[in-house]
Structure 1
Amino acid sequence: MSATFQYHAIKPETELAAFVESIGMFGNFSPAEKELVVLPDGRIDLFFMFTAEGGFQVLLMGLETSSDMRVVPAGMYAYAVSFTPLGLEYILDIPIADILNSAKVLPAGFWDNKPAWFENLETFNRHAIQKIHSLLRSKVDERKRKLFELIYASQGELSVNEIADQIGWSSRQINRYFNAQFGLPLKAYCDILRFRKSLEHIAVGKLFPELDFTDQSHFIREIKKYAGALPKELSKNKNDRFILLSVLKQR
């Protein structure tokens, strides 16, 4: 990733790992706008965004099911909390079914944020973690906890019926929950997680399926469906356009 466009993230403590994937900061610190392609990754992002002109906005991004070209203006930067679906429900408590592939503007004072939060990533991380702990409900439905443990452990490769059998929750109930809360069925979410895992392989030059795809053609079709580009183009990642790939390559 270039020096002018920066992304840094902190992993949460183990206690919060099921609810928060990362807390980060990104910014375009160049004199020119930056074109980026955002790829589906199965996360729900809460952004506190600043513009070069002094503007401020809080945005909640819904899940994405396809790639999206975005322009980051010069001087724009943002702090972000990336939630898992479980974190969305048990911390934010804001359904996002109505903002699939879009975003919701939240009040500028959301979470009672103060200017002191945004001195740097460390101060934002500290204040965000304190807020998250104050909001996190103590009782989590164990079926839902197990549901997401299985989804992540399998990288999205278990079928809906296999998951239903293991958690004692019917596939119809699971899909009703996913559609009402997140705006898509479980199978679609699992496919996004499998796509994201494949990006980790593509980021290091592995252009053939490492997961359970039928064959190379199936792999290519699925990658193009979600990324709008072939694996070879993604691997080159010219000008760091595919920001998720750039982040994965840093790990």
Structure 2
Amino acid sequence: MEFRIESYTGNILNKTKNHLYIEPCKELKHVVAHYTITFQNSENPISEGSVLNLIPDVSGCFVFRFLDEFIVSVWGPTTKVVTVKNDLNLVGSKFFVEFLPGGLYQVLGVDISKTVDKKYELQDFNQELFDEINNRIQSMDSFDEIIKMVNKLLTREMKKNKIEKSIGIWIENIARENLNVSAKDIADSLGFSERQITRYFNRYVGLGVKKYSKIVHLNKAIEEFNSIKFTQIANNHEYFDQAHFNHVFKEICGKSPSHYLENMSDFYNEIYKF
């Protein structure tokens, strides 16, 4: 089974040397950040044995691999750097469903805290959904058809797993507005207990408010690495000072900000998730 990048003819968000970014349908805008198609590119040589260090995104994704056996892997939200083989020019196209924070819960309906920093297969959670995707995809020959199918099926599944509306708004606002809040702040605003807020966030996002906010903050800061100095980044994102920013960056990414900046080609950051 093989799907070529040329089989996608719809609108795109962006295109890089090995990635095509695509918007989901409007019904999924609060669940899916975007779809990604990766493809081979002979004009972008990749050294043998090279790896990609994936920046934590607290979101999760589905990965469709079109091998002899069709596979849909499920990655839970990540809270630390994940190192994977850079196989962009070694394998055919892959298709990714990149969720927004809380989106994985709305499709799977499981306690997301149990999936954090782990990889599964879709059958581990929903055998019927995997079988339906697998059966339908056998008669397809284009990414246009795949995206149409995925839009329809994820919209259906989303309707089965509702998030408490007020909590969903906070999850979305923290990511969109880069808010620095605590479980107590949210509890006070909603009239819930801190324990309830923590339970909701763990179930829907996979981690508590503090850790979630910290990783969102870090992703927002990384977006500015090429344009301003670290001291200004620290100030923009309400770190105490540059030393505090360096400490948080190393805690989550395992490397210093300067190492990241000097070796950016070895890292991959999902800029469309926040």
Range class of TM-score, shorter chain: 0.7 to 0.9
CA distance in 1, matches of 2:81, 2:111: 22
Shift of 1:125: 2.4
**Is the counterpart of residue 147 in structure 1 residue 170 in structure 2?**
yes
**Is the counterpart of residue 81 in structure 1 residue 97 in structure 2?**
yes
The aligned amino acid for 2:266 is R
Within 5 Å, give how 1:202-221 maps onto structure 2: 202-208=225-231, 209=234, 210-221=236-247
Shift of 1:195: 0.9
What does the per-residue CA deviation read over 1:210-233, in whole Å, with 9 as the maximum and x for residues that have no partner? 211011100111111122222222
Cα root mean square deviation, aligned: 2.8
**Counterpart pick for 1:69 among 77, 83, 102:** 83
**Is the counterpart of residue 226 in structure 1 residue 249 in structure 2?**
no
Contact 1:79 / 1:124 at 8 angstroms: preserved in 2? no
Shift of 1:55: 4.1
Name whichever of 39-48 and 27-36 sits farther off. 27-36
How many residues of Structure 1 are paired with residues of Structure 2 in the alignment? 241
Shift of 1:123: 3.4
Structure 2: segments with no counterpart, 5+ residues: 1-14
Name whichever of 31-40 and 95-104 sits farther off. 31-40
Q: Which position in structure 2 is the counterpart of 1:19? A: 31
TM-score, scaled to structure 1:
0.82
Structure 1: segments with no counterpart, 5+ residues: none
Shift of 1:134: 2.0
Contact 2:54 / 2:81 at 8 angstroms: preserved in 1? yes
TM-score, scaled to structure 2:
0.76
Q: Secondary structure at the match of 1:202?
A: coil
Q: Which position in structure 2 is the counterpart of 1:37? A: 53
What does the per-residue CA deviation read over 1:53-81, in whole Å, with 9 as the maximum and x for residues that have no partner? x3432111111111121114421542111
Q: Secondary structure at the match of 2:223?
A: helix
Contact 2:53 / 2:81 at 8 angstroms: preserved in 1? yes
**Counterpart pick for 2:262 among 236, 240, 250:** 236
Change (3 A) 1:90 1:98: closer
Q: Which position in structure 1 is the counterpart of 2:145? A: 123
* Identity over aligned pairs, percent: 24
Q: Which position in structure 2 is the counterpart of 1:112? A: 132
CA distance in 2, matches of 1:14, 1:94: 24
CA distance in 1, matches of 2:223, 2:255: 15
Name whichever of 124-133 and 174-183 sits farther off. 174-183
**Counterpart pick for 1:100 among 116, 122, 125:** 116
**Is the counterpart of residue 196 in structure 1 residue 192 in structure 2?**
no
Change (3 A) 1:203 1:78: farther
Shift of 1:242: 0.6
Q: Secondary structure at the match of 2:167?
A: helix
Contact 1:40 / 1:67 at 8 angstroms: preserved in 2? yes
Q: Secondary structure at the match of 1:80?
A: strand
CA distance in 1, matches of 2:261, 2:140: 36
The aligned amino acid for 2:149 is H
Contact 2:40 / 2:92 at 8 angstroms: preserved in 1? yes
Name whichever of 75-84 and 28-37 sits farther off. 28-37
Contact 2:59 / 2:102 at 8 angstroms: preserved in 1? no
CA distance in 1, matches of 2:216, 2:79: 11
Change (3 A) 1:82 1:56: same
Shift of 1:148: 1.5
CA distance in 2, matches of 1:117, 1:198: 41
The aligned amino acid for 1:62 is G
What does the per-residue CA deviation read over 1:191-247, in whole Å, with 9 as the maximum and x for residues that have no partner? 111111111111445433121101110011111112222222222334x21111xx5
